[in-house]
Amino acid sequence: AQTVTQSQPEMSVQEAETVTLSCTYDTSESDYYLFWYKQPPSRQMILVIRQEAYKQQNATENRFSVNFQKAAKSFSLKISDSQLGDAAMYFCAYRRYGGYQKVTFGTGTKLQVIP
Amino acid sequence: NAGVTQTPKFQVLKTGQSMTLQCAQDMNHEYMSWYRQDPGMGLRLIHYSVGAGITDQGEVPNGYNVSRSTTEDFPLRLLSAAPSQTSVYFCASSYSGQFEPQHFGDGTRLSIL
């Protein structure tokens, strides 16, 4: 079974600084997708970034980028120039490739942004 | 704004009562799903649907029923509420070809006494 582990329950970052959230996963598959979701205090979850395992290039979305290390099964999220609006729970997630496959979520990292 | 609409936002039930959580989306998404979020456990899939008339179980389906009579609506029914079903429930949708949830509702905080 696939598992997703986020070992940092909470992190903090100064406004305008850079922070990296860690995620590791376990799978025997070679093709899959990885995601980072953001859940602000308002509760509505947002898909932040998506990475396809067969692509070596790391995905980026504006100030959000990932460091995807397939061999190490590591998928970290880097937030550059942190803003107060980045304060949220961040969930790492995994999905197998092909057809409708369920998404497995990690337990989340709560990010605090300090003004 | 277009998106996923969940009702109600809060609900308190007594053990044994039944209720339906409503979910509607106006983006013509084929895929819809229900998750529950419990402290320290991330989101877990309850049921999902890949189109009208087609539903399937997720990883924690016991005690819940779903139906999908239209593309827009995907209600979740609690048959006989139990305290273990106290949780925050999220409905999500995505378009054909991108199976992971893209749009989430605001959630329903459900307490079972």
Check CB contact under 8 Å for A95 and B100: yes
Q: What is the pLDDT of residue B76?
A: 98
Strands B87-94 and A109-114 come out as unpaired
Of B31, B41, B104, which has the smallest distance from its Cβ to A45's Cβ?
B104
Q: What is the pLDDT of residue B1?
A: 61
The parts of chain A modelled with pLDDT lower than 50 are none
Dihedral, A35, A36, A42, A44 alpha carbons, nearest 10? -10
Cβ contacts from A onto B, under 8 A: 49
Tens-place pLDDT, residues B47-93: 999 999 999 999 899 999 999 999 999 999 999 999 999 999 999 99
In angstroms, the CA B55 to CA B71 distance is 12
B97 pLDDT above the threshold of 90:
no
In A29-48, the residues whose Cβ lies within 8 Å of chain B are: 33, 35, 42-47
Burial class (CB in 10 A: 0-12, 13-18, 19+), B83: exposed
Rg of the Cα atoms in chain B: 13
Q: What is the pLDDT of residue A50?
A: 93
Angle value at C-alpha B3, between A91 and B77, nearest 5 degrees: 80
DSSP letter (8 states) at residue A51? E
Tens-place pLDDT, residues B2-36: 699 999 999 999 999 999 999 999 999 999 999 99
Q: What is the pLDDT of residue A86?
A: 96
Q: Chain A residue closest to B40 (CA)? A: A107
Whether A52 contacts chain B with CB within 8 A: no
Q: Chain B residue closest to A90 (CA)? A: B42
Of B42, B45, B59, which has the smallest distance from its Cβ to A91's Cβ?
B42
Other Cβ atoms within 10 Å of B95 Cβ, number? 13
Strands A64-69 and A60-61 come out as antiparallel
Give A114→chain B minimum CA distance, Å. 24
pLDDT band, residue B98 (cuts 50/70/90): confident
DSSP letter (8 states) at residue A17? S
For chain B, the three-class secondary structure string (H helix, E strand, C coil) is CCCEEEECCEEEECCCCCEEEEEEECCCCCEEEEEEECCCCCEEEEEEEEECCEEEECCCCCCEEECCCCCCECCEEECCCCHHHCEEEEEEEECCCCCCCCEECCCEEEEEC
In angstroms, the CA A6 to CA A25 distance is 9
In angstroms, the CA A32 to CA A94 distance is 7
Give A6→chain B minimum CA distance, Å. 10
Check CB contact under 8 Å for B88 and A43: yes
Strands A32-39 and A88-96 come out as antiparallel
